[in-house]
Amino acid sequence: MSVEESWGKIERWIAQLRHNGSGLTVILPPGFTLLSVEDILEKRATWLKYAAPDDCNLAEGDKPFLVPFAALSVIQLLVDIRTGRIGEWDIEQGFFWERDPLWRSFISALGFVGDLLASPPPWIAVLPGDDEWEVTDRHPDLPGTLVWTEDPVD
C-alpha cells in the first residue's frame, strides 16, 4: 500500500490539511501528532544543533538524511529520507532505530493506521509489547479527533 492510499484512508476520518501536519489530532499510536512544515524545520534545526553531534547511536553519514515528522511531547519520530526507516529521539535517551515491524518505515506506520481506520469500529490495535490500544473518533472530551487509549472507550 502506498503512502497516498494510506492517507486516503486516514483522511476519511480527519479533516486536517495532510501536507501541513495534523494539528492536535493524534495519528500514530500511542499519541504522535504529525508535524507541520514549520515544526519540522524548527525541530530539525534544534536536533542537528544539540542532539545529533554527540549521539553515539547514530552514524555520522546518516545525520543529514534524518528528518523529524511526528512528536509526542519531547519524543520525536525521524524518518530516513533515503529509505523511509523510522527512528526515535528524545533528549535523555538519544537516538535509536525502531525495531518493531510497525515502525520499520513511514509507509508501514501510515498503512497500519489507514487499514485500521478502514475496518469497522471498534478499532483495536495490538502495538509493540502486545499492548492493546483502542482508537476512537468519538471521545467525549475531544470530539472529532482521533484518540488512542489503553482503556476501552464507552
pLDDT tens readout for residues 54-105:
788 888 888 889 999 999 998 999 999 999 999 999 888 889 888 888 788 9
Q: What rounded mean pLDDT belongs to the chain?
A: 84
User: What phi and psi, each to the nearest 5 degrees, are found at residue 40?
Assistant: -60, -45
- Predicted confidence (pLDDT) at residue 107 exceeds the cutoff of 70: yes
Q: What is the band of 31 on the pLDDT scale with cuts at 50, 70, 90?
A: confident
Q: What is the pLDDT of residue 8?
A: 79
**Are 72 and 30 within 8 A, CB to CB?**
yes
**Whole-structure pTM over 0.85, yes or no?**
no
Q: What is the pLDDT of residue 16?
A: 45
Q: What is the band of 153 on the pLDDT scale with cuts at 50, 70, 90?
A: low
Report the 3 state secondary structure along the chain. CCHHHHHHHHHCCCCCCCECECCCCEEECCCEEECCHHHHHHHHHHHHHHHHHHCCCCCHHHHHHEEEEEEECCEEEEEECCCCCEEEEECCCEEEECCCHHHCCHHHHHHHHHHHHHCCCCEEEEEHHHEEEEEECCCCCCCCCCEEECCCCC
Q: What is the pLDDT of residue 13?
A: 63
Q: Which amino acid is at 133?
A: W
Which cell goes with 42? Answer: 524548527
Match 535523555 to its residue by C-alpha cell.
Answer: 92
Q: What is the pLDDT of residue 11?
A: 75
CATH topology of domain 3-149: SMI1/KNR4-like (3.40.1580)
Provide the residue ranges of all domains of the chain, joining segments of one domain with +.
3-149
Q: Could you tell me what percent of the chain has a pLDDT over 70?
A: 92
